[in-house]
Chains A and B, each alone.
Chain A
Amino acid sequence: MAETASATHVRHGSSIGQPLTRRDGVLKVTGQARYAADNHPPGMLHAALAVSSIARGRVAALDVAAARAHPGVVEVMTPANRPPLAQDPDDKNGPFVFRMEALQDDRVRYAGQPIAVVIAETLEAATEGAALLAPRYEAEAVETGLDASDVFIPQMVGPGAPAEARHGDVEAGLAAAERRVEATYETPAQYHNAMEPHAIVAAWEGDRLTVDTPSQGLAWAQERIAGLLGLPPENIHIRSPFLGGGFGSKGVISGPQVLGILAARLVGRPVKLVLRREQMYGPVGHRGPTRQTLRLGAGEDGGLTALHHHVRTATSRFDDFLEPAASVSHTLYAAPAIATTYDAVRLDTGTPLFMRAPGEASGSIALESAIDEMALECGMDPLEFRLRNYAEVEPMSGKPFSSKALRECYAQGVARFGWAGRPLQPRQMRDENGLLVGWGLGTATFPALMFQGQARAVIRRDGTALAETGAHDMGQGAWTALAQLAADSLGLEIDQVEFRSGDSRLPDAGIAGGSSHTATAGIALHHAGADAIAKLTELAMADQRSPLFGAGNMGVVARNGRLLRRDDESRGESYADILTRAGLAEIEGRGTGAMDPAVPEHYATHSHGAVFAEVKIDPELGQIRATRLVGAFAAGRIVNPRLVRSQYYGGMIWGVSFALHEQAVMDKCSGRVMNANLGEYHVPVNADVPSLEAILVEEHDPHVNPLGIKGVGEIGITGTAGAVANAVWHATGVRVRRFPIAIEKLLV
């Protein structure tokens, strides 16, 4: 029987925990889902960016006349004529406000920086116009590597965590150790490379602006744009119903997006500006490179005595974001003495930004490699060593974990993967074709964060409901998961709930980042639904004509569109009847989702996992292939197993990519990224990706938040990168400490 284009679902019982198909799925599989660049308002013009080919200096001249003369070009926007901004784009008035280039002057701070915008009738004319500008520069010498001269000790790293942390006496711990390992690991600069390039369609009407652009943070974007333009936030309407991936790069508004808005202002017509793929390597963030030195000490019995995780990383010359790679060492392994320290250099590059598992991804590949190196020193199996150093409480703070089913993750992962019989020594295993085989393990971890979110729920007279919050679905399935949570909170079937999202006019749902979105927005919806039900209940209980009259607030349960007496569920009535009798069209509830500050005071809140990887390597040629991955993850309550599994898979592939494939190759002299395209910047193709398995380990967390939800979007990278690195060592006996692992490093 053919499936119709408006698919319906079949489920039993509660929506939460059901593997429902995506609500937005039909739109996506038929090509009807409208992403930002798919919009084409009447009168629209196309804008193309011209970007700098030098990394430092100034633009001395632009051939504006040549660009203007090109048929179809309507206007050229440069620092000379761009509409004024109310705020300097370099003003930092908040922690998540990043300096951007919006044509404020002729300075060049990194290669790929926007230096002009050409606006034309067609995309081709705009693009060619940009080429005809033929910029001339005054170039200065650049610094691009981690050994640059401008070294400093940062106070804060990542999204505002203290850089230095100490617990116990690391030097004493190392001195007293029976065994010591000191190793330095290097991770490259990486770019998010979401498949959807950043895009914006901007349309002005007087002082009101409507913008179609992918955003992981609608409220932030609205505030930032409003501030720059000197307008009240309510004048800015941002629509972001669909994002083609974000991974952090769409969390803050970027210079190019602001330029699209200004271009529309300049020409008085709607403007569409879409970044070309090569323009995604500069103005929209990246993961900064790191060089990490791990020093470990262990006693006779394999117990860690000390752990020092030092990170050198890089930021731009004009703003700070430092990859917080050492954070994993705060939480993963029980050592009586732990220290994490940083230093950093300023480079002639764009400013880094949070990129999927910022800190955890880069830090865990180093830490998990070092742990394995120490396990080898101690003559212990890597799993045995990790269990020996299992942290029952958070090592740095001493706090108990709100939940930690990591032992179950190890146990279930090991059983499914088949770890038994793994030789301790490397280069012992081959397959039937003579390929080297290696097995490696990595522990996965990610903090369970929440931001602050709001939601609104409305029960209507016809018995259906509306749930809305400005949530962001960049592919993680937020729409579906959140709709499930909303439906359950309203005691309704999911098809009876209209779910609205992805629009700045809706309540602020918090940023879709930090794997926090389902918890934040979901709990806001949960409370909004509960609030609406509570108000409905009050109405009913006060009404003599209602079967619920006098039932008492706790004495009522909402199910299937009806309120029922808890003491006698045969007595109840429908939402529709309650509202009709009260003469109301609808009743509204509001809710907030935020972490209760008491929770992090008392508990350490993290998701955990264990990833097991198998790699095969050609012994002579060194080509590597990850052939099997099993990840077992514990992340509290799982709202939608199907969607969660997808997130784990996606994260695991990023982990493979981290270990084996992706890196930005920057020319040291020019500061340009030389592989700024998807042909040479290697993200895994599907033949790189082996059989994948994700085990959803059951975990119940009564503390972290009212729904016990922890995040799943980023954890997949964290154990996997290390597991693959360790598997490569196990296959070859060669310990490569620079990532991605290059073929030539494995030639013996």
Chain B
Amino acid sequence: MQAFIKHEGVVVPIDRSDIDTDQLVPKQFLKRVERSGFGKFLFFDWRYLNDNYDENPEFELNRPEYRDATILLARRNFGCGSSREHAPWAIADYGFKVVLASSFADIFYNNSFKNGYLPVKLSEEQIEDLFQREAKHRPYKLNVDLEKKIITDQYGLKIAFEIDDFRRDCLMNGWDDVGLTLRFEDKILDYEKKHGIV
């Protein structure tokens, strides 16, 4: 996994709550057996007018000012619904490095950390403030520092955010989860022996 330490980028606001993983990647793109190449399917039904990938000019990702955006800003319960990791794969493959929301669905949040981008949970007030700042200072850039756990902009904003230490370490080092757990293979075997599994 690619490590994440800090990132500065343009923010694209998608002003909705309950953005579900069916919207992030519709089902017709779940049939691939690879992990790569999902970026072009991200937000498919909102982003394209038809199956020929003709862009919907109204949708935020297609607007010229957001073409290079790497930070996604949304509201409540981001990533709800299906557990499909194809959604995080699409977000990472599209080039997003940070997703900011006032809450995330549990499975999606968990999946995000396996894919090298950072989901950041902020309060509803902080998210609202970011929407307003983005509207005022377009194109709006944020600097997200995972080491210091702060988000700053060039207009004096400074937000501290919370993140689990273990997840932070993994993301900052790009560690492979399976490898980390297998350090304790002897403990797993002990458990299996104790419970009559082997």
Asked if A and B bind, the verdict is no
Interface, chain B (partner A; CB < 8 A):
none
Interface, chain A (partner B; CB < 8 A):
none
